[in-house]
Structure 1
Amino acid sequence: MAGTLVFSYVLYRSSTILTFTSIIICALTLGAILSLFFGFFIPDLGIHAGETSIDHIGLWKGVYGFKNHLGRFMVVLTLAVFVMIFVFKRTDFKYFLILLMSMFLIYKSGSSTALLLLFICPLIYCFLNIIVSSKINRYIQALVLLIFLSFVLIGILVLPYIVVEIFGKDMTGSGRTDIWFSLFNVSQSPLIGHGFGGVFWGEYNSAYYLLDEAWFNLGHAHNGWVDIWIELGYIGLFLYLLITLKVVYAAYNLVFRKKYNIYAYIFLLILFLFLYSFSGGGFVKQNNMLWVLFCCSWYYVYSRERINVNDDDVSIK
């Protein structure tokens, strides 16, 4: 973990936010191109053949080894390109091409969480932009707020239909809730947890003894909050939520109250990581790319001395 933190800090110190965003776009675009190549020309490697679950047969994993990994990294890429096009007004054809390519791969991955967040994160960004804008009439802002709340309510009401009929899944989230209840019932140390990495990682790990055999080979609980709780207990979960919600609010404050548009991607990235934790695996792990992105985002948000210092930042404020 110390090495991963150092790597994140070096990346932050050597890059402006625009450079950081460009690095992500370059790296994940290469991953997208290779995933397309594997999917079309080497399907034995790029497409699931039932090695993990019969439900995954035919879903793309690209060069990322698993369909959900492909889906979530393509969302990270899509959000970066979204910011370049719609926030920084970079309308180069290459960005639109990357956008189409990444969205196609998200669809082919079959990752329902990634697909939902692909639309939810930009919608939240646009909604907040309208609500805090001084150029938009208060009555229009109130109307937009009512419409947004109506969509949220409708979304909750039709959620079973979306999950079952559109995504072809059940209300357990493909067994996710069963895992959570199993963990809750068998945890032997709910206050302080079983130790960092002491449940799911490694052969004959704690999960092998704590859970039914149907779940022993999982690498996480499919919920970042549950992962933290089973490892670090209620104390660790409280600290995790405190840190995460604090950085979400700090990024919101920079983008929507202080109007530093340069932080738009950082806000979207943190928002994605926070929402992804509801049904995806926890990212607080060593050598984990999402943890690196979170650490870099944290550094940028709380680096007061770097705000409005870099030429790139000033020009886009």
Structure 2
Amino acid sequence: MSPAQTVNPLLSFFEKRFAILTLVVFTGVLNFASYYNVSEGVPGYGFYVSSSFDRLVSLLQYGIYATTLFFIVARFKSVVRPALRDPFLLVLIGIIVTSFFWSDFPSISRKAGIFALTTTLFGLYLASRFSLKEQLRIIAWALGIVAVFSLLYTLGLRGSGIENGTHSGAWRGPLLHKNLFARLMLVCAFPPLLAALDLRNKYRYLVFGVAGLAIALIILSTSKTALVIFLTLILLLPLYRALRWSDNLAIPFFITAILVGGSMATFTVASWDNLLFSLGKDPTLSGRTEIWEAVMHKIWERPWLGYGYQAFWIEGGESDYVWRVLRYRVYQAHNGFYNIGVEIGLLGALFFVLSVAFAYIRAIKYVRTSTTSESLWPLIYLTFLPMYNYTESTIVEPNSIYWVLFVSITFSLRNVQGVKVRKESERLSEKIVSQTGIESFP
């Protein structure tokens, strides 16, 4: 019996819709950033203009966190076991929350650390409250709504939803930049796609249509990085499915080959853009490798614990060195692993990598215990997250759907081994009954 079946039906109805609303809020589409902020390459770009929608979303977030804490406290015993499934993630969050002790800007790190903790708690709530199958359906609903909303927003407000300036003609939807929009649509594509593969009713083609819409929006964003990663994940889907059919070493070999090839293609696409930029097409974006070199220099100055969570890319701080080297300002390392390294050190980066690696192994075991397409969701997401962080920063972001999805997956996966053991025990029991006639045994 799933967790959702053990509670009051009315409460279950409310909680599922609460989860859907929260995921929509965490995508950032309700901030309407593109409506109030100019496109890249247009005068005024780089200075974020806040709006009344930002304040409304902040109020929603506070309400979400209060509701989450209420549910966690009310079901504290059911939350403890999932929370212990990934000790690496717990240590990582511990480093983030306490980083204000050594931060160059303690108040900023303290506030950001609290938001990161509360975002993590919502992911833990999802893991403790819903099975992975239920989570995928909730996520598919939320991201399907986001994809449809983004289409309607852009068609209705073309001057805001479509880029001007540097990336003229590229879709950015309600978000600030077309690359952010492409990343979101990439995540929007897979939950409805996987859910539709297992549907056998009249709604199957509608759900496929939502997935197709998200794919079309990736193409309209003109983001080559998102397109390469999407194609890589599509190629991996049948191989991930094949993991449950055979232990042949050829399948892991092909998976590794596609992952390496996809990673190299992602890096090459990003580097090719940078080469064009450095030749004068857009000097404000040139040289990710230059950013990485400057950031690595600062990492080695404080290698173990970094400069404090979200305390590096602040005017008057240590990022001034990076800006002097580059002769222009950036506000992230354009690589998630460098970014986490400079903020919470190599220890923080190590615990994140360990968390991803162990979750990936558990996700493979989970696939082998199931016959549904929905069971592929953890593997797909755990492949997406590191790949996208080669060129962008999507690690441990407060109020972010990407962090929530990672937390909910990694805290949900530890129980897979128990499922496998129970299945083997049931098969053994049936065999003993058929051979001896004994219907129960200690």
Count of residue pairs brought into register by the alignment: 295
Query: Which residue of 1 is the match for residue 226 of structure 2?
Result: 114
Q: Distance in 1 between matches of 2:258 and 2:123?
A: 37
Q: 1:300 to 1:105 in 2, by over 3 A?
A: same
Q: 1:153 to 1:193 in 2, by over 3 A?
A: closer
Give the CA deviation at 1:296: 0.5
Q: Distance in 1 between matches of 2:327 and 2:137?
A: 39
Give the CA deviation at 1:155: 7.1
The residue correspondences of 1:1-317 to structure 2 (distance < 5 A) are: 1-50=116-165, 54=166, 56-87=167-198, 92-130=204-242, 133-134=245-246, 142=250, 159=265, 163=269, 170=275, 175-187=287-299, 188-200=301-313, 202-212=314-324, 214=326, 217-256=329-368, 258-259=369-370, 261=372, 262-303=374-415, 307=419
Note the aligned Cα RMSD (angstroms). Answer: 3.5
Q: 1:15 to 1:114 in 2, by over 3 A?
A: same
Structure with greater helix percent: 2
Q: Which amino acid aligns with 1:27?
A: A
Q: Which amino acid aligns with 1:77?
A: C
Q: 1:289 to 1:205 in 2, by over 3 A?
A: farther
Q: 1:130 to 1:174 in 2, by over 3 A?
A: farther
Instruction: Check conservation: 1:223, 1:278, Cα contact below 8 A.
Output: yes
Give the CA deviation at 1:100: 1.8
* Stretch of structure 1 that moved more, 145-154 or 11-20: 145-154
Where do 5+ consecutive residues of structure 1 fail to align?
309-317
Give the CA deviation at 1:13: 2.8
**Larger Rg computed on CA atoms:** 2
Q: Distance in 1 between matches of 2:178 and 2:241?
A: 32
SS of residue paired to 1:170: helix
Q: Distance in 1 between matches of 2:148 and 2:182?
A: 14
Q: 1:23 to 1:149 in 2, by over 3 A?
A: closer
Give the CA deviation at 1:37: 2.2
Give the CA deviation at 1:292: 0.7
Q: Which amino acid aligns with 1:83?
A: L
Instruction: Check conservation: 2:241, 2:376, Cα contact below 8 A.
Output: no
Q: Which amino acid aligns with 2:275?
A: D
Instruction: Check conservation: 1:32, 1:102, Cα contact below 8 A.
Output: yes
Give the CA deviation at 1:151: 6.7
Q: Distance in 2 between matches of 1:149 and 1:306?
A: 27
Give the CA deviation at 1:119: 1.5
Give the CA deviation at 1:57: 2.6
Give the CA deviation at 1:209: 4.1
Instruction: Check conservation: 2:225, 2:270, Cα contact below 8 A.
Output: no
Deviation digits for residues 207-228 of structure 1, max 9, x if unmatched? 2344337576433211111111
Q: Which amino acid aligns with 2:189?
A: T
Q: What is the aligned-residue identity percentage?
A: 22
Instruction: Check conservation: 1:222, 1:282, Cα contact below 8 A.
Output: no
Instruction: Check conservation: 1:78, 1:102, Cα contact below 8 A.
Output: yes
* Stretch of structure 1 that moved more, 298-307 or 239-248: 298-307
Q: Distance in 1 between matches of 2:395 and 2:253?
A: 34
Instruction: Check conservation: 1:220, 1:282, Cα contact below 8 A.
Output: no
Q: Distance in 1 between matches of 2:217 and 2:365?
A: 33
Give the CA deviation at 1:164: 8.9
Instruction: Check conservation: 2:172, 2:178, Cα contact below 8 A.
Output: yes
Instruction: Check conservation: 1:183, 1:211, Cα contact below 8 A.
Output: no
User: TM-score, normalised on structure 2?
Assistant: 0.58
Deviation digits for residues 134-179 of structure 1, max 9, x if unmatched? 4x9x6xx84x77877777788799x59x7399x8663899532221
Q: Distance in 2 between matches of 1:47 and 1:80?
A: 25
Q: 1:116 to 1:89 in 2, by over 3 A?
A: farther
Q: 1:254 to 1:150 in 2, by over 3 A?
A: closer
Deviation digits for residues 238-290 of structure 1, max 9, x if unmatched? 2221111111111112113x336443112211221122122221321221211
Where do 5+ consecutive residues of structure 2 fail to align?
1-115, 279-284, 421-442
Q: 1:58 to 1:22 in 2, by over 3 A?
A: same
Deviation digits for residues 112-142 of structure 1, max 9, x if unmatched? 22111111123223123335524x9x6xx84
Q: Distance in 1 between matches of 2:415 and 2:253?
A: 36
Instruction: Check conservation: 1:74, 1:106, Cα contact below 8 A.
Output: yes
Q: 1:10 to 1:132 in 2, by over 3 A?
A: closer
